[in-house]
Amino acid sequence: MTGSTLGIIVQLAIAFAVLSFIQVNIGIILIFLLFLLVSLVGKKQHWYKKYWWFDNIPHFLGGFALSFFTKQIFLALFIIIAWEFIEVQLAQKSDHHFEEELQDKIMDVLVGVAGFFAGLIFF
């Protein structure tokens, strides 16, 4: 095997590794962009107030994306619950005060966990 052949093989191996890495990352980037798009359009169009179920979509997508970064259910649950606390804090500091009931927060956590498990199956 000549040096140029070995070089081509190494370059192909590197290219394959990079493409594999990019493919996985493009998937998670697309999920994140979908999450942002759903959230922003939902706020702009007031879909969170118009449709009671709309809030489930970004929570599911968030849990789904989270499964890419961790496979540990307890860590995922901690992050999902922490996010709910952050949401409350952000809502209190913004001009858009909204009151959510405990039942809604519990549903947000459950939908996020469902998204996490769906992501575990997918990833």
What's the domain range around 59?
32-122
Q: Would you say residue 68 lies in a domain?
A: yes
Is the sign of the CA dihedral 69, 75, 77, 83 positive or negative?
negative
Q: Would you say residue 45 lies in a domain?
A: yes
- Give mean pLDDT, residues 14-33: 67
Q: Would you say residue 2 lies in a domain?
A: no
- Taking the CA atoms of residue 10, residue 11, residue 13 and residue 15 in that order, the dihedral angle to the nearest 10 degrees is 160
Q: Which residues contact 42 (CB under 8 A, 6 or more apart)?
A: 48, 54, 57, 58
pLDDT of residue 63: 94
- H helices then E strands: how many in the chain? 5, 0
Chain length of the chain = 123
**Run of H or E including 51:** none
Average pLDDT for the chain: 81
Who has greater pLDDT, 21 or 77? 77
Q: Would you say residue 5 lies in a domain?
A: no
Q: Rounded to an integer, what distance in angstroms lies between the CA atom of residue 122 and that of residue 116?
A: 10
Confidence class of residue 81 from pLDDT cuts 50, 70 and 90? very high
Question: What is the tally of structural domains in the chain?
Answer: 1
Q: Would you say residue 13 lies in a domain?
A: no
Confidence class of residue 106 from pLDDT cuts 50, 70 and 90? very high
pLDDT of residue 107: 94
pLDDT of residue 72: 93
Q: Would you say residue 44 lies in a domain?
A: yes
pLDDT of residue 32: 80
Q: Which residues contact 100 (CB under 8 A, 6 or more apart)?
A: 88, 91
- Give mean pLDDT, residues 1-16: 57
